[in-house]
Amino acid sequence: MAKKNDAKNYKPWYSSRFNNVTEVADYWKTNYADLFRKTSLFTEAFYSSTLPPEVLEAVAANLTILKSPTVLRQYDGRLWSWEGCGDDGGCCHGSCTHVWNYAQAVPHLFPTLERSLRNTEFCENQNKLGHQGFRANMPISPLKHDFHAAADGQLGGIMKVHRDWRISGNNEWLAKIYPMVKMSMDYCIKTWDPRSKGIVEEPHHNTYDIEFWGPDGMCTSFYLGALQSLIAMGKFLQKDVTRYEDLYAKGKTYLETNLYNGEYFFQHIEYKELNAPNPAKAQSFGGDYSEEAVAILQKEGPKYQYGTGCLSDGVLGTWIGAMCGINDIVDAKKIKSHLLSVHKYNLKKDLSEHANPQRPAFALGHDGGLLLCSWPKGGKLSLPFVYSDEVWTGIEYQVASHLMLSGNPNEGLEIVRYCRDRYDGRIRNPFNEYECGHWYARAMSSYGLLQGLTGIRYDAVDKTLHINNRLNKDFTCFISTATGFGTVSLKNGKPLVKVSHGNINIDKTIINDKIVTE
């Protein structure tokens, strides 16, 4: 039981369990044999997987983030994290929601800790209007609400509540948090979709540290995924979700019809027909508009957009949805087409001729890597979003996982190999994939590669094991649930679950959308 926090400053969790280092040492000595045994069980289960080595390496190497200073746990046991770490301090505080969206390791390995993030987001970080700050205070306490909410962070949080409920099977937790989740959803609708079109069109802050103006594939896919999540949770709790069903239907049609060019999804830049003030006078991380920027505004629209570009995160909300147990948010054929376009246009096998004025050290020279955005059909903006020419491992892994889910494992594995080749120990530390700092949390999207290749997902609410084999051959893969961990094997179409620790109560197994055991 955690002790009461009497200090105004941060107190680590271990200080509520132990009075001094002697007690820590005594605990270690007393429990060493049991700790070693459980660690060995985990190691053996994880490395008994037959998945491609680059996948196991990408997942395992980034689990080191959980042992780095990026991740903290305060006195009451709740998780609080940086985005990454500088050489002498944390970088970008507050369990940033739109960065931690990508990280899939914690909800499966430590689901109780992950739910503590949801409790912070929908309680201390959210006010009575439903506005949610995307950076938590340290120690965790109510926020000032003096800046934009982050559309991808807040909408992603709604999907993650669905995921964490499904992983935990905790219906009481869902019932308790649902009113705050609904309040959050209603705020998102009022703020970014005031005309009830089912799209995010008013200026919306996001993980690129700027606001997108007008509807785009990335954040509208988040919106549709959040609506689907709320509908599923609401129906389980016997709530009226008619309004959200109507918005979802309209938004899906709009996205697939008006924001898809036959090859990939894009952004329709808009600012004149919105409720928001002139972009040159709006509050933004992007700073003031110079005379040159005002001239570009009149010709191209607000600075830092992507417009006709092929964005690697262009359907990110549908990947987050799949990781959260919400599928078929958008037409699967169009999602597949978008992802194959990202692979075709954004994956560069050699970056020697690529100009990147921002942070080239992530990938440069003869490195290969996946660009955040490209403009294969022309129309690159004079001032596109500032990170567009960069390469981020967290985005590489989510695209790779999404390609696998969409039936293109080879293209996904190619991206993973280029990423891990950069972190082979010769130039970059293989256990430290950096972005804004070392041990950057977004890189834990690599855990999603397990689900990407195998479709393995355990639903504790329905006690159902889902398998969707994208390897086209027998496999063994690690699985971790809220109650136990072990391996799932598929041999000649028949599943075998081996529990290494705890228990996994399975009433039904679904393989490739067909019930095989019940």
Distance CA 147, CA 302 (A): 19
* Phi, psi dihedrals of residue 85, rounded to the nearest 5°: -130, 135
Q: What is the pLDDT of residue 425?
A: 96
Rounded-to-integer distance, Cα 178 and Cα 135, Å: 21
φ, ψ for residue 311, nearest 5 deg: -90, 125
Strands 464-467 and 508-511: parallel
Peptide bond between residue 277 and the one before it cis (omega within 30 degrees of 0): no
Look at residue 161 in the predicted model and tell me its pLDDT.
98
Rounded distance between C-alpha atoms, residue 273 and residue 195, angstroms: 11
What is the rounded distance in angstroms from the CA atom of residue 183 to the CA atom of residue 175? Answer: 14
What's residue 4's pLDDT? 52
Instruction: Find out whether 419 and 393 touch, Cβ atoms under 8 Å.
Output: yes
**What is the predicted pLDDT for the residue at 441?**
98
Cβ-contact 404, 412 below 8 angstroms = yes
The tens-digit pLDDT sequence of the chain (518 residues) is 344 545 578 999 999 999 999 999 999 999 999 999 999 999 999 999 999 999 999 999 999 999 999 999 999 999 999 999 999 999 999 999 999 999 999 999 999 999 999 999 999 999 999 999 999 999 999 999 999 999 999 999 999 999 999 999 999 999 999 999 999 999 999 999 999 999 999 999 999 999 999 999 999 999 999 999 999 999 999 999 999 999 999 999 999 999 999 999 999 999 999 999 999 887 777 778 999 999 999 999 999 999 999 999 999 999 999 999 999 999 999 999 999 999 999 999 999 999 999 999 999 999 999 999 999 999 999 999 999 999 999 999 999 999 999 999 999 999 999 999 999 999 999 999 999 999 999 999 999 999 999 999 999 999 999 999 999 899 999 999 999 999 999 999 999 999 999 999 999 999 998 998 76
Fold that domain 48-454 belongs to in CATH: Glycosyltransferase (1.50.10)
Cα 16 to Cα 76: distance, rounded to the nearest angstrom: 8
pTM for the model: 0.96
pLDDT at 7: 55
Indicate the domain borders of the chain. 48-454
Q: What is the pLDDT of residue 8?
A: 79
Q: How far is CA 91 from CA 34, 71, 144, in A?
A: 35, 11, 20
Task: Quote the crossing angle between the two packed helices 53-62 and 21-47, to the nearest 10°.
Answer: 170
Give the span between the Cα atoms of 107 and 168, in whole angstroms: 9
> Distance between CA atoms of 145 and 131, rounded to whole angstroms?
7
Q: Quick one: pLDDT at residue 286?
A: 75
Percentages helix, strand, coil for the chain, rounded to the nearest 5? 45, 15, 40
